[in-house]
Amino acid sequence: MSISKIQNIRDLTKEELQEFFDTLGEKKFRTQQVYEWLWQKHAHSFADMTNLSKDLRQKLGEHFTLPALTVDATQYSEDGTIKSRFKTHDGHLIEGVLIPTEERKTACVSSQVGCSLSCKFCATGYMERKRNLHFDEIYDQVVLLNQQSEKVHEKKLSNIVFMGMGEPLMNYRNVLKAVEKISSPDGLGMSPRRITVSTAGVAKQIRQLGDDMVKFKLALSLHAANDQKRHEIMPSNDTNNIKALIDALNYFYKMTGNEITFEFILFKNFNDSIKDADELIKVYRQVPADLVNIIEYNPIDRAHFQKPDENVVEEFMNHLDRNRVNARLRKSRGKDIDAACGQLANKVQ
């Protein structure tokens, strides 16, 4: 097997790693040892692999790299939320959030450095997309947030949401490979049913998820239930209109039977009227969605949107309830440290 000296060792399958050790004349158990260091013991360097000889560690270093994510800064919210800024091996910064409740310890992870979709209400949308995150960088976020959860709460993560920086379906293969590693017995062994991938709506890739028979849940960031308003705040609606998304979600459900959630941020005097609620109900009834998460808006510096008054939100929720929509008002966590929904932009005090 021809291996580039600079190849990331975590790009290798277990079989390819075995092949490498065969060329060195090493015993077969070395493959399992190294694989455990990479995916279960979370080694950050070959020097960490203390049950290997110095000579073997040196040979690994001659043939491979082991780039790992590191924690660059951490902020703690009054409500217990922890935001971490991570640094990639090539110096990019991304953010992840640990959101604790009594019942759950949830990791919110990023899939891209920046984002290309330019949603008008989202701080990340105002950043340039530098690159996609590699699957092992996504995996490392989960590992580091899990370590935080164990240290602070003495509990492992219970859930993972791809709701951080970037559009997961624009980094399709790396996101799927990361989920595969996170849920593998050779990795973190988490159930894919506890993983939710959130998308602004890329119809073609939602269909692809169906074809790939994924096991995780899907959340669609709807935020407006007619095309004119949705285009105004989410330019990607141009090529992924509501009808196309409804068709794609139905296909996804037909192929997988997996849970679908709608996310809907309320903006004052924009999408918070009873007419807006009726349009949302109409979309909801065309898709086998389990839930609509109504989300309070979290202000960001570069957007002009505001939160609706509480009585308007209550009226909106009551109207959904009267029309038998399974809706939940989701209170944002970590607002005081810019860790809430739509606020991630590498802004650390």
pLDDT tens column, 77-134: 888 899 999 999 999 999 999 999 989 999 999 999 988 887 877 877 778 788 999 9
Q: Is residue 59 domain-shared with residue 85, that is, in the same domain?
A: no
Q: Is residue 207 domain-shared with residue 102, that is, in the same domain?
A: yes
**Confidence at residue 289, expressed as pLDDT on a 0 to 100 scale:** 96
Q: Is residue 157 domain-shared with residue 213, that is, in the same domain?
A: yes
Instruction: Tokens for 165, please give them.
Output: 């920086």
Active-site position among 108, 115, 119, 341: 341
CATH of the domain at 164: 3.20.20.70
Burial class (CB in 10 A: 0-12, 13-18, 19+), 48: middle
Question: Domain for residue 1, yes or no?
Answer: no
Q: Is residue 31 domain-shared with residue 169, that is, in the same domain?
A: no
Q: Is residue 37 domain-shared with residue 147, that is, in the same domain?
A: no
**Confidence at residue 3, expressed as pLDDT on a 0 to 100 scale:** 47
Residue 190 CB coordination number (10 Å): 21
**Confidence at residue 190, expressed as pLDDT on a 0 to 100 scale:** 96
| Structural domain of 23 | 7-65
Q: For all residues of the chain together, what is the average pLDDT?
A: 91
Report, in angstroms and rounded to the nearest whole number, the Rg of the chain calculated over CA atoms. Answer: 22
What is the H or E stretch that residue 131 is in? strand 131-132
The residues near 25 (Cβ < 8 Å, ≥ 6 apart) are none
Q: Is residue 61 domain-shared with residue 208, that is, in the same domain?
A: no
CATH of the domain at 15: 1.10.150.530
The mean pLDDT of 52-79, rounded to a whole number, is: 93
- 78 in catalytic set: no
**Confidence at residue 333, expressed as pLDDT on a 0 to 100 scale:** 64
**Confidence at residue 4, expressed as pLDDT on a 0 to 100 scale:** 46
Q: Is residue 173 domain-shared with residue 34, that is, in the same domain?
A: no
Among candidate residues 65, 88, 110, the one where a domain is terminated:
65
Of 44 and 278, the structure prediction assigns the larger pLDDT to: 278
**Confidence at residue 296, expressed as pLDDT on a 0 to 100 scale:** 85
pLDDT band, residue 207 (cuts 50/70/90): very high
11-41 pLDDT, tens digit per residue, is 999 999 999 999 999 988 999 999 999 999 9
Question: Domain for residue 344, yes or no?
Answer: no
Cα(first)–Cα(last) distance of the chain, in Å?
Answer: 49
229-256 pLDDT, tens digit per residue, is 999 999 888 889 999 999 999 999 999 9
Q: What is the total count of domains within the chain?
A: 2
**Confidence at residue 77, expressed as pLDDT on a 0 to 100 scale:** 87
Check: CB of residue 230 under 8 Å from CB of residue 223: yes
Active-site position among 95, 137, 167, 263: 95
**Percent of the chain beyond pLDDT 90?**
79
Q: Is residue 309 domain-shared with residue 275, that is, in the same domain?
A: yes
**Confidence at residue 320, expressed as pLDDT on a 0 to 100 scale:** 98
136-156 pLDDT, tens digit per residue, is 999 999 999 999 999 999 999
The residue type of 37 is: W
**pLDDT at position 225 over 70:** yes
- 95 in catalytic set: yes
Q: Is residue 128 domain-shared with residue 149, that is, in the same domain?
A: yes
**pLDDT at position 345 over 60:** no
Q: Is residue 258 domain-shared with residue 323, that is, in the same domain?
A: yes
**Model pTM?**
0.91
Question: Domain for residue 348, yes or no?
Answer: no
**Confidence at residue 338, expressed as pLDDT on a 0 to 100 scale:** 57
pLDDT band, residue 349 (cuts 50/70/90): very low
Among candidate residues 19, 38, 65, the one where a domain is terminated:
65
- Beta 112-113 vs 291-296: how paired, if at all? unpaired
Q: Is residue 193 domain-shared with residue 331, that is, in the same domain?
A: yes
Q: Is residue 50 domain-shared with residue 114, that is, in the same domain?
A: no
Classify each residue of 279-296 as buried b or exposed e, where b means 16 or more C-beta atoms within 10 Å of its C-beta: bbbebbeebebebbbbbb
The mean pLDDT of 274-298, rounded to a whole number, is: 95
